[in-house]
Amino acid sequence: MVRALGVLLALGAVLSGPASSGPVGQGLLVAAAADLRYAFEEMGDAFRRVAGVPVTFSFGSSGQLAFQVEHGAPFDLLFSANEAFVKRLAERGLVLPDSVQLYAVGRIVLWVRRQSVLPVEQGLRLLPDSRVRYVALANPEHAPYGEAARQALVRSGIYDQVRGKLVYGENVSSALQLVQSGNADVGVVALSLALAPPVSSAGRHWLVPDRLHDPIRQAAGVVARSAGQAEARRFLRFVNGPEGRPIMRRYGFVLPGEGPTP
Amino acid sequence: MDLSPLWTSLKVVSVATALSGATGIGVAYLLALCRFPGRSLLQAFTALPLTLPPTVLGYYLLVALGRGSALGQWVEATFKTPLVFTWQGAAVAAAVPSLPLVVAAARAAFEEVDVQLLEAAQMDGAGTWQQFLWVLLPLAHRGILAGVTLGFARALGDFGTTLMVAGNIPGKTQTLPIALYDAVQAGRWDLATGLALALTGVAVVVLLAVGRLGTRLV
């Protein structure tokens, strides 16, 4: 018995070796809003090629990620899907105030699967249709894209009609997943996800007019506890610079200082 | 395929099992052989994780170990890093729901040991610690191993508590179950399948290994 415990302890000691000295140790650890999943996988590869620094992402809803930063999660950077979370952390000294910057403005779309018979081009007025059983969105409580989706439903006057159909993903990519797996009929998700190759080939989308929701102003900042602040600032400059912007634009983001994409 | 969730899981679960194993055996000993005030409270308290939803456990741990708590601040001051959102935090999170399994099995095993054997050892001059180490543990080891094995499996499969306390950080706190969840969110079903198989494989190998260890220790 004692020996068995000893073996387990030794196993733990041995295993903690390779894992803690893995690639993450030298690279950047970036907390990124779920709408960035596909765009940032590409961004991470591009940055590694140029800077030689590997970037690992933890994707989640902005609210959850901000909570984790607040509680000391070992991130170097936070890319939130809204400004408020980053600014609030900066005010409390948890994110370096001089690093905070806008990096994108997001858009939302209605999304259905390729094989769906629903005419997504009809837009939001499709949602009250009896053929639509479930509408998936990110949880508006802590996911900015969910909040934008809720605003669009309210401002187009259909919220009360569709309220009973709403199902919530914990972030915008899990909302999309609810539709992709066929469990919800329509999703209100990020354009950046709908344009990603694995998703765009699997479905159709309709762009929700941006007058129907507050601008999804996405901001980022360097985490104050980060041991790799110089590299973190470099990645932030990369995303907002000549290398990163074309990638962001391709995923449908409107970029700071630029007009909407045609 | 990225193997880091496998290493993270093995590391987290090894430490979690050591924690729940050591604590569980101690608690089981107290419950089985000692009479003291608050004994039934201790019993209820250690069985609680069995009946509470993992998210409730996660929430309590976040409050108890978070940066706002006295314990959390002590850990941060001592080790220069908070416990939450680290792999060590994940280990604590995984240990809590596995604790009741160790306690239940070890307690039953201790209670089955003939008290006269302990009394005989005592008459031969063995102290409490010696009785525990040389009489009780050897006689109860099968039940204890069974409990620790179950605890290991429970820790390996933990999702909700770990996610709340340690997040989903690849290479640091992303265990196999969390990596699987992340893969499903990303729509990467092939990766999810691979991870599910890896998780099943680790569980089978571990159960076989501990089982064999058990028979060899007789």
pLDDT per residue as tens digits for the range B137-181: 999 988 898 889 889 989 999 999 999 999 899 889 999 999 999
Grade residue B187 by pLDDT with cuts at 50, 70 and 90: confident
Give the nearest partner residue to A2 out of B84, B137, B174, using CB atoms: B137
Indicate if A113 and A150 belong to the same structural domain: yes
A80 & A174 share domain:
no
Number of domains in chain A: 2
Tell me, what's the pLDDT at A12? 46
Confidence at residue A16, expressed as pLDDT on a 0 to 100 scale: 44
- Same domain? For A124 and A97 the reply is no
Q: What is the pTM of this model?
A: 0.80
Is A64 within the bounds of a domain?
yes
Lowest mean pLDDT among A1-5, A156-160, B85-89: A1-5
- A81 shares its domain with A203: no
User: Which pLDDT band, with edges at 50, 70 and 90, does A5 fall under?
Assistant: very low
Answer yes or no: do A19 and B217 touch at CB < 8 A.
no
Overall average pLDDT of the A28-50 stretch = 96
Contacts of A64 in chain B (CB under 8 A): 167
A170, A242: one domain: no
pLDDT tens track for A188-232:
999 999 999 999 999 999 999 999 999 999 999 999 999 999 999
Mean pLDDT of chain B: 89
Whether residue A199 and residue B187 make contact (CB cut-off 8 A), yes or no, is yes
Q: How far is it, in rounded angstroms, from Cα A130 to Cα A117?
A: 13
- 3-state DSSP helix/strand/coil percent for chain A, to nearest 5? 50, 20, 30
A173 & A242 share domain: no
CA distance B49 to B46: 7
Q: Looking at the predicted structure, is the pLDDT value of residue A7 above 60? A: no
| A135 and A170 together in one domain | yes
Contact B145 A34 (CB under 8 A): no
Average pLDDT over every residue of B12-38: 95
Looking at the structure, tell me whether residues A206 and A83 fall in a common domain: no
CB contact under 8 A, B84 and A72: yes
Specify the amino acid at residue B218.
Answer: V
Considering the domain architecture, whether residues A188 and A240 belong to the same structural domain is answered as no
pLDDT of residue B213: 61
Same domain, A99 and A224: yes
The pLDDT of residue A248 is above 90: yes
pLDDT at A261 over 70: no
Q: How does residue B111 score in pLDDT terms, banded at 50, 70 and 90?
A: very high
The per-residue pLDDT for B202 is 77
Partner B contacted by A192 (CB < 8 A): no
**A157 lies in some domain:** yes
Cβ of A174 and B76 within 8 Å?
no
- Judge if A123 and A62 occupy the same domain: no
The DSSP secondary-structure symbol of A259 reads P
Name the residue among B129, B135, B102, B136 with its Cα closest to residue B18. Answer: B102
> Is A46 part of any domain?
yes
pLDDT of residue A11 exceeding 60, the answer is no
The CATH number of the domain holding residue A225 is: 3.40.190.10
Q: Is residue A14 part of a domain?
A: no
Helix (H, G, I), strand (E, B) or coil at A79: strand
DSSP state of A139: -
Residues A145 and A49 in one domain: no
Max mean pLDDT among A146-150, B135-139, B200-204 falls in A146-150
Q: Rounded to a whole number, what is the distance in Å from the CA of A233 to chain B's nearest CA?
A: 20
**pLDDT tier at A14 (50, 70, 90 boundaries)?**
very low
pLDDT digits (tens, 9 = 90+) for A129-141: 999 999 999 999 9
Residue A2 lies in a domain: no
Q: For each of the domains in chain B, give its residue range(s) and CATH number, in order of start.
A: 4-216 (1.10.3720.10)
**A3 inside domain:** no
Looking at the predicted structure, is the pLDDT value of residue B108 above 80? yes
Residue A21: pLDDT band (50, 70, 90) is very low
Higher pLDDT, A16 or B92: B92
Residue A198 lies in a domain: yes
Classify residue A246: in a domain, yes or no.
Answer: yes
Contacts of A169 (CB under 8 A, 6+ apart): A136, A137, A138, A139, A143, A146, A175, A176, A177, A178
Q: What type of residue is B77?
A: A
- pLDDT band of A15, cuts 50, 70, 90: very low
Those residues with Cβ within 8 angstroms of residue A66's Cβ, 6 or more apart along the chain or in another chain: A78, A80, A85, A86, A88, A89
Q: What is the dihedral of CA B75, B11, B58, B67, to 10 degrees?
A: 20
Boundaries of domain holding A152: 107-212
